[in-house]
Amino acid sequence: MDSSVGGAAQAERSANQVTCLSFLSGTDDAETVGAISAGTGLSRPTVHAVLDDLLDAGVVVATDPVVGGLGRPARAFRFAREAGLVAGVDLGPRGARAVVCDLSGRRLGYVELMGEQRPDIALIERAVHAVVEEASVEFGRLRAIGIGLAGVVEADGRLRASLALPDLVGVPVGSEVAERLGHSVAVDNDIKLAALAEQRGGAGRGYDDVVYLQIGSRLSMSIVLNGVIRQGRHRLAGELGAQRGMRWTRNARRGQLVWTSQPTGEAVLKAAAAGDPDAKAEIEDFCAQIAARIATVLLTVDPEVLVVRGGPAADSDVLIRSLEAAVDKELLFPERPPFVASALGREAVVLGAVGNAFDKFSPDIYGVHGFPSPWTWITNDVERTSSETGS
């Protein structure tokens, strides 16, 4: 057989698998072959053949026959969302956050191991085991893990540089975690993963080009273009802190932000939102200092939206308005993207980590090539939980 013909046949088969699995994953009900055929537009023989593939892959299960009317009862099939798990870990200087999702992207468990021990490989391993245990699911169902690290991360998962995680610099985090836990591991920079999560399902949803600005203990920036993290040739895109002698603000010390009216940036935001004049003045001065850098990035990238994470969305209005006013003074043209507050907050990194694992290892996770990652489920679950807990 001509290889091109064989390749076309395989591509069509994969497309049919994705079509059927997407249909089943969109419902909690079991569906008959007739219902799947009607819902997908595929012929019944094609659906039968595809279901055999999906049953072999373990992502679809057959339920008891549906009884009704005359003739032999029809078998029904459902998406086996419980058949596999994907975990995400956000490792930072203060500890780790971890989340575990089923194959549909629904969050089953979440844990925080903060300030309990030094951030290292062992803490990542511990976090994965802890979140699986918290979810009361079997560790053996785990199919992939995503990890977010504070620092410059090479394509092979090695941490190249990090002020926040100095003990892990030079360590091949991805391969070491994969060896310890026995699963595929995707590793990337924490802020880049947060930007991806916001673009896929947060405040940047619906936009292809997003700039993400995080104002925490330090200032960080990342860029998503055409729905993909902009890494750059040396994976340094957005790493403005890597410019020798560059200081975002007068009060930055080795990249760390020092606040005067309140002990932390979030506390300053909260006080400013409550009307504290000193906090409001500090926010305005801070925005005036960083405005030129932000304007330079906006003119270079010309994104559709700027997502800002500085603290809880409810306290971010003063920051957003002050930043808009300061940046407008730096721009010759009136056109600029809207500035919006982060929708995913402190969970954006761990969310981006688990979503990145779905993206990187989708064929291994589902046994199907081209099945889309369940970002909508992941982000909706996180947004609901955050609003319920008030975080």
Let me know how long the chain is.
391
* 388, pLDDT greater than 60: no
Mean per-residue pLDDT, 119-143: 95
Return d(Cα 362, Cα 215) in angstroms, integer.
32
Q: Residue 5: what pLDDT?
A: 55
Q: How far is CA 338 from CA 5, 207, 306, 324, in A?
A: 48, 11, 6, 9
Whether the per-residue pLDDT at 378 is higher than 60: the answer is yes
With 90 as the cut, is the pLDDT of residue 239 above it?
no
10-79 in CATH: which number?
1.10.10.10
* Least confident residue range of 62-76, 128-142, 316-330: 62-76
* Fold: same for 10-79 and 206-342: no
When pLDDT is cut at 50, 70 and 90, the band that residue 218 belongs to is: confident
- The string of pLDDT tens digits covering residues 352-374 is 999 999 999 999 999 999 999 99
pLDDT score for 4: 59
**Is the Cβ–Cβ distance between 349 and 194 less than 8 Å?**
yes
Q: Classify 331 as helix, strand or coil.
A: coil
Of the chain, the end-to-end C-alpha distance in Å amounts to 59
Give me 6's structure tokens: 């064989």
Tens digits of residue pLDDT in 145-181 = 999 999 999 999 999 998 889 999 999 999 999 999 9
Q: What is the pLDDT of residue 312?
A: 86
Q: Which sequence spans correspond to the domains of the chain?
A: 10-79, 83-194+346-389, 206-342
- Beta-strand ranges (E) seen in the chain are 31-32, 60-66, 74-79, 85-92, 95-102, 107-114, 142-149, 152-153, 159-161, 184-189, 210-215, 219-225, 228-229, 252-253, 256-257, 305-309, 339-341
CATH classification of 83-194+346-389 is 3.30.420.40, yes or no? yes
Query: CA 217, CA 213: separation in Å to the nearest integer?
Result: 13
Q: Does domain 206-342 have CATH number 3.30.420.40?
A: yes
Percent of the chain at pLDDT > 70 equals 90
Over residues 48-64, mean pLDDT: 93
pLDDT at 42 over 50: yes
pTM: 0.91
Instruction: Provide the edge-to-edge strand list for the sheet that holds 210-215.
Output: 228-229, 219-225, 210-215, 305-309, 339-341
